[in-house]
Structure 1
């Protein structure tokens, strides 16, 4: 590397739709990943997460 800096900016506002929101994959993988992205400042504060499921949790 020649001293280049990598800059990461937050994503533009968007809507994230999760189908199967009460499922195991969502709980184990998707929600922790979304939390980490938010914690690191990589998701816009205007981002909306919408979950759909066939069964209640």
Structure 2
């Protein structure tokens, strides 16, 4: 499922753009994806931490 979500935009890029533009856009998408994942893990981590603090009181 996740693999399909990642590969679909790449296929669209392959079709619509040339080599150089394609590489640039792929890097941008990858960076955005990494930022998104990092933000997600930060949110989960802080939520877990709050939960743990609440339990330990």
TM-score by length of 2: 0.35
Larger strand fraction of residues:
1
Between the two structures, name the one with larger relative contact order (CA 8 Å, sep ≥ 6). 1
Q: Which one has a bigger Cα radius of gyration?
A: 2
Larger helix fraction of residues:
2
TM-score by length of 1: 0.35
